[in-house]
Amino acid sequence: MKTKALFPILCLVLAAVMGFTACNQGGTVSNETRQEELYSMVVFSKGSEYFNWCYAGFIAAAEAIGPHIRTELVGAAEVDAAMEVKALEQLIAKKPNGVVVTSADSATLVPSINEAVRAGIPVVGFDVDSPDSDRLGFVGTDNTDFGRVAADIAAKLANGSGEVAILYVPGNVDLEKRLNGFKARCAERYPNLKVVLELNHEGEVVKAESVTTSLLQANPGIDVIFVSEGLGCSGVAAAIRSLGMGDRVKVIASDFNTATNDLMKAGEVAATVVDDPYFIGWDAFLQIWSAAHPTNRASLSPPFGYVAPGIYCEVAPLYPENLADASILAKYLNPPNF
């Protein structure tokens, strides 16, 4: 009798379990058949190790959301603001679900970023900001702090006193912040460390070499050269090598890549300042995905979903002796190729 009495209950339990399983299976199928979404990353130097790390983080975050998410990396092969504008305008016609963009020239990108937002495509800035545009938020580096860290390194290399030249790109607001952060730190802490020249190397290796050659021929008393972006240090090191001044002129690079690694090992670059491009790419994706999926949380840029105004990663000095640390190499060396 007890067995017969339990039978209907067992049937109900079994039905519930089967229903739960079916719901789970149905949920999986539903996830796999969800409408595809496309998110685009626009860069001004496609193929650079730094942006490959950014894109690796971008992809990883997309995969964490689900298999219905597609990503793409677009942009100019070399630093070219006009080509970057063209790439962004082509994306507007494709109508992706969201775009993250780093700006070769912050002012040049404003019209196309604004056009994308007006077309209903959310845009989040990353790495190099375009703050005067309608981009919804920014993920990157506190570049004023980046410049302060570079000044701390310079003071260490020059024993607190000497002449410094800084290579940067006018119009790039983030590099200007690095320049100003460096000078502000010197004024605050290192009054005997003087920034005597600020030079435009256009973010190019060849130009950096020619600018540095002319710089040192005219100003042989320079003690430290700070290259405020990631590409130019190879050119600076080549110029110093050609002039035979490697025993006294110290080079501070920005970011980390294979060329910088090799130059640090060779003793031609004394240090670099690093941030975390993987983190930047990861959070840039999460921000743009949030923008494309409004919730009940009040948004700063309706009708798009909530996006944080600014998210910033850690900045730190990196010296040649740090290259023996496997965790450092795992974080910065051997980036994926896209």
pLDDT digits (tens, 9 = 90+) for 155-190: 999 999 999 999 999 988 889 999 999 999 999 999
Determine if residue 203 is left, alpha or beta; phi over 0 gives left, psi from -120 to 50 gives alpha, anything else beta: left
Question: Is residue 11 domain-resident?
Answer: no
Q: Is 250 or 326 the better-scoring residue by pLDDT? A: 250
- The kind and range of the H/E element at 338 are none
Provide the domain limits for residue 73. 37-135+277-307
Residues 186 and 239 in one domain: yes
Which residues neighbour 316 within 8 Å (Cβ) at sequence distance 6 or greater?
149, 273, 274
Residues 131 and 216 in one domain: no
Residues 210 and 263 in one domain: yes
Q: What pLDDT is attached to residue 135?
A: 98
Question: Is residue 24 domain-resident?
Answer: no
The chain-wide mean pLDDT, for the chain, equals 89
pLDDT score of 32 more than 70: no
C-alpha distances out from residue 161 to 137, 154, 304, 318, Å: 39, 9, 51, 21
pLDDT score of 25 more than 90: no
Q: Is 12 or 35 the better-scoring residue by pLDDT? A: 35
How far, in whole angstroms, is CA 246 from its chain's centroid?
Answer: 30
Give Rg (Cα) of the chain: 25
Residues 49 and 163 in one domain: no
Residues 59 and 156 in one domain: no
| Confidence band, pLDDT 50/70/90 cuts, at residue 229 | very high
| Confidence band, pLDDT 50/70/90 cuts, at residue 334 | confident
Residues 262 and 286 in one domain: no
| Confidence band, pLDDT 50/70/90 cuts, at residue 62 | very high
* Whole-number Å distance between alpha carbons of 15 and 254: 62
How far, in whole angstroms, is CA 88 from its chain's centroid?
Answer: 18
Mean pLDDT of 8-34: 41
Residues 284 and 268 in one domain: no
Question: Is residue 335 domain-resident?
Answer: no
* Whole-number Å distance between alpha carbons of 51 and 102: 10
* Whole-number Å distance between alpha carbons of 218 and 204: 21
pLDDT score of 123 more than 50: yes
Question: Is residue 66 domain-resident?
Answer: yes
* C-alpha neighbours within 13 Å on the C-beta side of residue 184: 13
Q: Is 26 or 295 the better-scoring residue by pLDDT? A: 295
Mean pLDDT of 27-54: 81
138-141 and 271-274 strand pairing: unpaired
Question: Is residue 78 domain-resident?
Answer: yes
Question: Is residue 183 domain-resident?
Answer: yes
Residues 166 and 57 in one domain: no
Q: What percent of the chain clears pLDDT 70, i.e. is strictly above it? A: 90
Tell me: the pLDDT tens digits for 84-93?
Answer: 999 999 999 9
Residues 73 and 105 in one domain: yes
Residues 217 and 159 in one domain: yes
C-alpha distances out from residue 108 to 59, 98, 111, 113, Å: 27, 20, 7, 10
Question: Is residue 334 domain-resident?
Answer: no
The vertex-285 CA angle with 280 and 291, nearest 5°, equals 125
> Which of the listed residues 253, 274, 295 is the one where a domain comes to its end?
274
Determine if residue 290 is left, alpha or beta; phi over 0 gives left, psi from -120 to 50 gives alpha, anything else beta: alpha
| Peptide bond connecting 303 to the previous residue in cis, omega within 30 degrees of 0 | yes
Q: Is 331 or 57 the better-scoring residue by pLDDT? A: 57
Looking up residue 269, the CATH number of its domain turns out to be 3.40.50.2300
3-state secondary structure of 125: strand
The lowest-confidence range among 18-22, 165-169, 207-211, 240-244 is 18-22
Contact 56, 281 (CB under 8 A): yes
For the chain, the domain total comes to 2
Which residues neighbour 91 within 8 Å (Cβ) at sequence distance 6 or greater?
40, 42, 74, 99, 116, 121
Question: Is residue 214 domain-resident?
Answer: yes
